[in-house]
Amino acid sequence: MDSATFHKQGDTQAALIHDGHTLESLPPYSPDLNQIEHKWA
């Protein structure tokens, strides 16, 4: 998940966890995790 406001809301996170999803937070900017960055480097 990125740091969008709606991703941080408790009810959004609770609904995702209830449905069996695992939540992983990403740093604000992470070019190493952005696949397209490897194509342009």
pLDDT digits (tens, 9 = 90+) for 1-41: 667 777 778 888 899 899 999 988 777 777 777 888 788 76
Handedness of CA 10, 13, 14, 15 (dihedral sign): positive
**CB-based contact 7:17 (threshold 8 Å):** no
The pLDDT value given to residue 41: 62
Give how many domains the chain has, as a whole number. Answer: 1
Q: What residues make up the domain containing 34?
A: 5-40
pTM, two decimal places: 0.49
Task: Look up residue 21 and give its two tokens.
Answer: 């999803």
The pLDDT value given to residue 7: 73
